[in-house]
Amino acid sequence: MNSPKTEHEVLQAILRKAYQEKENVEVGDQWQQEVMRRVRELGTLQPTPTFPEMLEQLVWRLAPVTCLLIFGLTVLFAVSDFTSGYEVFQLFMNGTEELTFALFAGL
Amino acid sequence: MDNDSPTSGDAEIVGQVVAGDVHAFEHLLRKYQNHVLILLKKHLPYDHIEETAQDVFIRAYKSLPTFRGESSFKQWLSTIAVRACYDFWRKHYKSRELPMSSLTEKNQVWLEEAISAQASQSFHEQSLQKEAREILDWALDRLSAADRMVLELVYLEGYSLRETADLLGWSIANVKVRSFRSRKKLHKLLTQAIPR
């Protein structure tokens, strides 16, 4: 028996030869027509968009969503009486000041 | 890998196809059909070659807009073909049942003779390649899809690690480790198959 290294090399040589032989198999020539038929079916290709084009597409895609969001927030503020909420806040702040001053003055 | 002459003609045809001339793709198909077939014949079983060849060219057609001409068209197409083979084996291995059959007695005897001290150049030339192919297919069928592809490309075809990494889209380190392991597995499989 050969040394493992020689054994390995011999085996590799044999297997390589067997592997190379595989390319001699005959294959039919009808498949090319099928490829062209499918290519015609697929039609013309759409070129890959560049980065600015992709950005532009994204902006336009988001535009309706942004408009809807602005509209929705406007309606929400109009309905929820934003002004009176602000006044309550002011009253609370003023009230605290008065209370603090009253306590400080001992009244 | 081959060193092609400048393939500016290919780039022009690719440009035509991308611009909408679908029929121009036939030039590329005719020019590279043999190259793709030779590649597929080595990696795939006979009855799947035509189907995969179609798949390779359809994939190439769909991906043409992404072809930037950084490598030659032939090299770009080879990458698609090799990855199609890898995909084939991944699908095949998922759906197959685990092969349990061992080598036939005839194959075992042949293998023993082949790696014994009597093995010589004359043995390689005279011996039947049919046996060698059967043994090779038997052993490859027992490896994973990834091991199989790396072993075929590096060990049997002689591609460099970098070329293999480019073809499969893996890192060089991954190819190196897998190549070493798969070679060990193959050797172990074949030496264990011989009754000693």
Q: Which residue has the tokens 């798969």?
A: B182
* ipTM of the complex in this document: 0.73
Q: Is residue B97 pLDDT above 70, yes or no?
A: no
pLDDT, mean over chain B: 84
**Using CA atoms in the order A61, A62, A67, A69, what is the torsion angle rounded to 10 degrees?**
140
Tell me which residue in A13, A25, A32 faces B124 most closely, judged by beta carbons. A13
More confident residue, B22 or A83: B22
pLDDT value of position A97: 58
Structure tokens given for A104? 């400080």
Share above pLDDT 90 across residues of chain B, in percent, rounded to a whole number: 48
CB contact under 8 A, B42 and A19: yes
pLDDT score for A52: 84
Query: Pick from B101, B156, B117, B149: which is nearest to B133 by CA?
Result: B156
Give B38's contacts (C-beta < 8 A, 6+ positions apart): A23
For the ranges A61-70, A76-85, B25-34, B175-184, the lowest mean pLDDT is seen at: A76-85
Taking residue B138's Cβ as centre, other Cβ atoms within 10 Å add up to: 19
pTM strictly above 0.90: no
Average pLDDT of B61-80? 91
Q: Which residue has the tokens 């309550």?
A: A88
Query: Cβ contacts (< 8 Å) between A36 and chain B: which residues?
Result: 25-26, 29
* Per-position DSSP letters for chain A, written without gaps between them: ---HHHHHHHHHHHHHHHHHHGGG----S-HHHHHHHHHHHH-SPPPPPPHHHHHHHHHHHHHHHHHHHHHHHHHHHHHTTHHHHHHHHHHHHHHHHHHHHHHHHT-
Q: Which residues of A touch B (CB under 8 A)?
A: 1-2, 7-8, 10-23, 25, 27-28, 30-32, 34-36, 38-40, 42-48
A34, two tokens:
């099928």
> Any residues with CB less than 8 A from the CB of B21 and at least 6 apart, and which?
none
Answer yes or no: is pLDDT of B113 > 80: no
- With a cut of 50, say whether residue B3 has pLDDT above it: no
The torsion defined by the Cα of B138, B166, A17 and B131, in degrees rounded to 10, comes to: 10
Percentage of chain B lying above the pLDDT 70 cut: 83
Sequence length of chain B is: 196
Mean pLDDT of B59-82: 92
Greater pLDDT, A74 or A49:
A74
Q: What angle do CA A31, A37, A39 make, to 5 degrees?
A: 105
For residues B115 and A11, the answer to whether their CB atoms sit within 8 Å is yes
Res. B94 pLDDT band, cuts 50 70 90: confident
Q: Do B129 and A15 touch (CB under 8 A)?
A: no
Name which residue leads in pLDDT, B169 or A30: B169
Question: In which band, very low, low, confident or very high, does the pLDDT at A29 lie, cut at 50, 70 and 90?
Answer: confident
Among B85, B115, B157, pick the best mutation site for testing chain A contact (most A Cβ within 10 A).
B115
- Is the confidence at residue A25, as pLDDT, over 50? yes
State pLDDT tens for residues A69-90: 999 998 888 777 666 666 767 7
For residues B145-172, give the mean pLDDT: 93
In chain B, what residues touch A40 (CB-CB under 8 Å)? 22
Instruction: Give the model's confidence band at B116: pLDDT under 50 very low, under 70 low, under 90 confident, else very high.
Output: low
| Closest listed residue to residue B80, CA positions, set B99, B64, B100, B97 | B64
> pLDDT band at B159, cuts 50/70/90?
very high
Q: What is the mean pLDDT of residues A14-22?
A: 81
